[in-house]
Amino acid sequence: MEAILNRKSPTPWEQFSASPLIFTATKLYNSLPISIPPPTGHSIRVVCISDTHNGQDQIPPLPSGDILVHAGDLTDNGTIEELKLSLEWLSNQPHPHKIFIAGNHEKCLGNPPQGDPSFRSSIANFYPNLIYLQDSAAKITIRGRTLNVYGSPKTPYCGNFPFQYPFIFSLPSKSNSWGEIPSDTDILITHTPPAYHLDAENKKHLGCLGLLDAIWRVKPRLHVFGHIHVGRGVERVTWGFEQRAFEGILYGEKGWFAVIAVFCGLVVRVLLSLFTWHNKKPQTILVNAASKGGGFREDGRRREAHVVAI
């Protein structure tokens, strides 16, 4: 057990030996410079949290912001009593707009026999300052800017939980249920991550390939999720040919020619940064906002929220 708990990360040589293609592509991809526009007076601050699992009282105080987003798993056992405590905490936060979705642990919000439709339909009455999204959309206006928000609790199968669907192993897929995300979505909130982005546990990608395909179509300004606790972090993605090439390598459909595409993308972005030209390709901020840690070293603590400007 000691060897498992204190196992060392693989060395660069071990990573290269396991897959020279993925190792080389990842090194190049992680070298890609990303243009991050500085916040302006018109920027909207979004506070992102997820996977609090009844630990809302253990979370460091939430930063101020215009929007507070909770991407699911507010509870552990998914009972109405647990959820009420979490929603009381969420409702008492000072943020002008508070939006949440369910996670796979929110059994009381699923379908019977585990779920209670009457409680689900009464959330707006009990907590009028909260916006609950379940495969649905909402519009919010902040300082003259209107944002389209879409939220979904769906996750690939991982046990006896609600809101689940079969894993998608290839595309196109008849089982892909992400086609309903509106194309004009500015903020996307899902419980599951997309494939290959902040979704790795023990070097295995656990995100949804179908959701990644939907993000390529929609290209939201912000995508907030959780579910894979150890994937916690923030990433900014530029939707260009180099991104498609890198994901194709991880997917297993592209080879060394795709590495050349990633390298060309690196050269182009370096040249753009030297001449201070702006990258016009659409970008998305991806946030795995899991508060509860994961993996063998889980210590029970809850991590702080992430804050991004859009």
Supply the pLDDT for residue 7.
45
Which phi and psi (to 5°) does residue 194 adopt?
A: -75, 160
Residue among 184, 155, 173, 196 at smallest CA distance from 72: 155
Contact predicate 229/264, CB 8 Å: no
d(CA 192, CA 190): 6
Peptide bond into 113 cis (omega under 30): yes
Supply the pLDDT for residue 1.
31
Domains of the chain: 44-234+287-294+302-309 (3.60.21.10)
Supply the pLDDT for residue 16.
78
d(CA 268, CA 270): 5
Supply the pLDDT for residue 201.
86
Residues in the chain, pLDDT under 50: 1-7
Q: How far apart are the first and last CA of the chain?
A: 44
Q: Residue 47 to residues 44, 94, 97, 208: CA-CA distances in angstroms? A: 10, 12, 10, 24
d(CA 133, CA 149): 9
Supply the pLDDT for residue 17.
76
